[in-house]
Structure 1
Amino acid sequence: MDKVMISVAPVAATDKNIIPEKIARDVIDCWRAGAAMVHLHVRDEHGNLTTDMSVLNKTLELIRKDSDIIIEVSTGGVSNLTIEERCVPLYSDLVEACSLNVGSTNLGKAVYCNPIDDVKYCVQEILKTGKTPEVEVFEIGHTYAMEELMAQYAFKEPVLFSIVLGHKGEAPPTPKALANMISMIPTNAVWGITHANRRDFGIVAAALGMGAKTVRIGFEDSNYLDENTMVETNLPLVEKTVRLLRAMDKAPMSADEARMYFNIK
């Protein structure tokens, strides 16, 4: 049976009250329901991106205490942090994987800056620390940039791309955009889908039908269960994703299955 990794990104960028115990409970419930990875950012108690790992460390310790979910922490996010500061989570022993952003893009009224020298610094630190990158590509040019980096650096295979659609100012969440983005994925890589500002599961379903090996779901991208229903925890989003997979004769990967498939150590 075809298996897919569900990744949960449980914290909205607009959340200004970061409570480790609440996040950990939500993540553990999602793991029990079928999520194999959690995606988090380094935030302080007020939700601001920071280099202070104390709040995140407490969250990760609580998550690890009661689950074996893969822990992925972002090296990105729109902020004034330097690339050195953004790479702080790479040095945590609790962190197994990380996001890798390989180009700049417009995100609404903000500009998400990732100049190539910063990208290469991040790549070098990822390789040095042995983390597994998930390459977030917002445009076709990002995919091409990563293919060039793959020719320069010894990445673990398979390299995982996450096709991100739906932010205002970047690639739209349409079948045509999805197909074009998929067409640029290198043959020695695998890919998944992140649909930002999602109101339904149509693009997620389309991506799964076209071969996505990961689905990212969670409040960082949207808290909509359907166009009329917003939920208060991430659990219903994961449960709906699991039902969608099973309806397509697929199944969610366990954390250990995902570690083996994506070469996460």
Structure 2
Amino acid sequence: MNKVMISVAPVAATDKRIVPDKIAEDVLNCWKAGAAMVHLHVRDTHGNLTTDMSLLEETLRLIRRDSDIIIEVSTGGVSNLSIKERCVPVYSNLVEACSLNVGSTNLGKAVYCNPIDDVEYCIRELLKMKKTPEVEVFEIGHIYAMKELMEQYDFCSPVLFSIVLGHKGEAPATPEALAAMIQMIPLGALWGITHANRRNFSIIAAALGMGASTVRIGFEDSNYLDVNTMVDTNLPLVEKTVRLLRAMDKEPMSPDEARQQFHISINR
């Protein structure tokens, strides 16, 4: 495969000022540079996870008005929200895809809880509303859990996994961990890479060389352009990812190409 979907996750979890116009402008610039998907959370003005979709809906309308970028919204994050509350973006007509977390996760000193009953509730709602899931896996057990869930539920093929490396307490961002997790991905599924707390692009390059179909980049994971340089918009991160792809004789997918590849469609 010589085309890769770039997903931009533009808002850091530590951001305490959520401004729809600013986020939308950043996302539109990233789309013009080669990003095919945007990954967002439902946040209030202070950056806290919430059930109030108003700010997010405003942001999504601005993004959709001026671009065809795929809109993905998370059903996760460390909070006190119930699984029903976390699933509020599933019912938005502007949302095409949602993250799916299939197991509990250590995130530093926090524990992101995903008991199996909650996981299955989220799956049922995603399938009912025809939202494409991106399965975020932080360790090998999550991949195995999803394999079992794929036997129980009628997921659209190919199922997309995102291998998440680099969180303290979970799989490290090393070639060995990446290789081990790739080996567990079910046949017929596709996978991509997310490198949390990233300081360089070495693991992203390794993943691309090993067949990643997607790369997530953006402030949610890191604002480092290289070990010595932090940036204040997401655009340079997307531009560097595009340069890396082309250096490896690959190209970024357009949003329509990504929709076709991953069967992302509100009306499928």
- TM-score tier, shorter chain, comes to over 0.9
Q: Which amino acid aligns with 1:134?
A: E
* Alpha-carbon distance in 2 for matches of 1:193, 1:42: 22
Q: Which amino acid aligns with 1:187?
A: L
1:54 deviation in Å? 0.2
Normalising to structure 1: TM-score of the pair? Answer: 1.00
Alignment match, 2:80: 80
Alignment of structure 1 residues 84-233 onto 2, 5 Å: 84-233=84-233
* Alpha-carbon distance in 1 for matches of 2:78, 2:19: 21
Alignment match, 1:242: 242
* Alpha-carbon distance in 2 for matches of 1:43, 1:155: 28
1:188 deviation in Å? 1.5
Alignment match, 2:3: 3
Alignment match, 1:19: 19
Q: Which amino acid aligns with 2:54?
A: S
1:177 deviation in Å? 0.2
* Alpha-carbon distance in 2 for matches of 1:224, 1:137: 23
* Equivalent position SS for 1:238: helix
* Alpha-carbon distance in 1 for matches of 2:26, 2:73: 17
* Alpha-carbon distance in 2 for matches of 1:174, 1:46: 34
* Equivalent position SS for 1:222: coil
* Alpha-carbon distance in 1 for matches of 2:113, 2:189: 25
Q: Which amino acid aligns with 2:2?
A: D
- The alignment yields a C-alpha RMSD, in angstroms, of 0.5
* Alpha-carbon distance in 2 for matches of 1:87, 1:62: 22
Q: Which amino acid aligns with 2:133?
A: P
- 1:107-156 alpha-carbon deviations (Å, 9 max, x no partner): 00000100000000000000000000000000000000000000000000
* Alpha-carbon distance in 1 for matches of 2:11, 2:181: 26
Alignment match, 1:52: 52
Normalising to structure 2: TM-score of the pair? Answer: 0.99
* Alpha-carbon distance in 2 for matches of 1:123, 1:57: 22
* Alpha-carbon distance in 1 for matches of 2:95, 2:28: 16
Q: Which amino acid aligns with 2:83?
A: I
Q: Which amino acid aligns with 2:210?
A: M
1:209 deviation in Å? 0.1
Q: Which amino acid aligns with 1:59?
A: T
Structure 2 stretches lacking a partner, 5+ long: none
1:105 deviation in Å? 1.3
* Equivalent position SS for 2:72: strand
Q: Which amino acid aligns with 1:72?
A: E
* Alpha-carbon distance in 2 for matches of 1:2, 1:199: 25
Structure 1 stretches lacking a partner, 5+ long: none
Instruction: Show structure 1 runs of 4+ deviating over 4 A.
Output: none
Q: Which amino acid aligns with 1:204?
A: I
* Alpha-carbon distance in 2 for matches of 1:183, 1:243: 27
* Alpha-carbon distance in 2 for matches of 1:26, 1:242: 16
Alignment match, 1:252: 252
Q: Which amino acid aligns with 1:150?
A: M
* Alpha-carbon distance in 2 for matches of 1:210, 1:202: 12
1:82 deviation in Å? 0.1
Alignment match, 1:64: 64
* Alpha-carbon distance in 1 for matches of 2:105, 2:119: 14
- 1:21-69 alpha-carbon deviations (Å, 9 max, x no partner): 0000000000000000000000001100000000000000000000000
* Equivalent position SS for 1:100: strand
1:236 deviation in Å? 0.1
